[in-house]
Each structure stands twice: as structure tokens, then as C-alpha cells.
Amino acid sequence: MINLATFREALHDAPIVPVLTVTTVEHAAPLARALISGGLKSAEVTLRTDVALDVISEMKATEHDFVVGAGTIVSEGDVDAALKAGADFLVSPGASPDLLKALAYHDGVILPGVSTASEAMARFEEGYGVLKFFPAEAAGGANFLKSLAGPLPHIDFMPTGGVKPHNALDYLSLPNVIAAGGTWIASPTEMESGDWAGIEAKVREASGLGKGNSHD
């Protein structure tokens, strides 16, 4: 896995992280190229399909400098499999005691999911400085994260879930948001039809979001 400084560097100029559910390994290479060409430097591949681990490996092989994470990490088996596949970072929708125990054995960028202030405080005490805020819109949206910036300024978030082009800047303008997860970047339909040009066009639009609003 990469370290947090490298992760932050990848997000600094392109703070949208595509959240991808890929059903065919053959889509991995052209998808990685479309994301890179459009200006994004990272992506999260969810472990929701049988080929997700192979997709991570293939994307890394295609674009060595592309930062590829594994999402939907919910068990120790997921952690081990994702790291073996070459994942640069890990993202979970939440954090059970067993999952936290498995994650504690690994250094690198790990974003456990939280949706409350108490969960955020607990994860920070356990050593996690950047957290996934999920499901972002359903759990209170940008206003919720804005309210946490005062009492918890030392914790950063990557909101995911309901983040779209029309509200992404609401999140990215906040001082405690380093990036936002975007599920709209590459839909299964676009990938199935091979519309890599269309995906790249959406990537170019997304890569411009937040420029001038990033936080060091």
C-alpha cells in the first residue's frame, strides 16, 4: 500500500476518486487509460464483482503510477485478497471489531467508513486520520461534515454515496474534505458499450472539480 503523503499528493489536483464496479476484466485496461487521460490519478474498485481483484491487478499493470484502491472491504479475507492483488489503499463502508482487528496488522492508507461523530472520534483514536463518510448524502451530506470541522478539525474525510457533479463542490470546498468518491464517472452501461471516449469526457469534467479549493 502507499503512504498517506502519496495518497494526498494524488488527490491534490484531482480530488474526485471514481468508485467503480467493473464486471469484466477486459474493461480494466481501457478504463484505466480513460481515467488517466481525463486527468484523474486514482480510483476505487469495489469488491462487488467476481473479477474485481483481477481488475485491480490489471489496472495497476496498465498504468503503474495510477493509484488504485479496493473498496467494499468488509472482512479479513477481503483485506488479504486486496493487498495480494496490489491495491494501493483500502476503503470500507463501516468498521466491525473483526475488520478493525484485521486492518490493525497493516500500514498504509486505510479509510474505514463512518457516519457519526462518535465513529469518527473512535477511528481517529485508533490511528485513522482520513475516513470515508458513507453514505454521504443519506447521513447528512455536506452540512454534516461542515458541522464536524469545528470540533474535529484534525480529521479528514472522503465522502461517498450520493455525491454528484451538482453537489461535489459543496463537499470539496470544506476544509476537512480531501476528496470525494464519485460513482457517476463510469457506469456499467458505458463500460459494457465500450464508450471510453464518453467516460473520458466525464473524467475531464470531474478532474476540474475542486481545483482552487484543495486543502494542504
Catalytically active residues are 44, 132
Residue 65 CB contacts under 8 Å (≥ 6 apart), including other chains: 41
Q: How many CB atoms lie within 10 A of CB 197?
A: 10
Q: Which amino acid is at 89?
A: F
Q: Are strands 109-111 and 113-114 parallel, antiparallel or unpaired?
A: unpaired
Q: How many CB atoms lie within 10 A of CB 116?
A: 13
Residue 187 CB contacts under 8 Å (≥ 6 apart), including other chains: none
Q: How many CB atoms lie within 10 A of CB 1?
A: 19
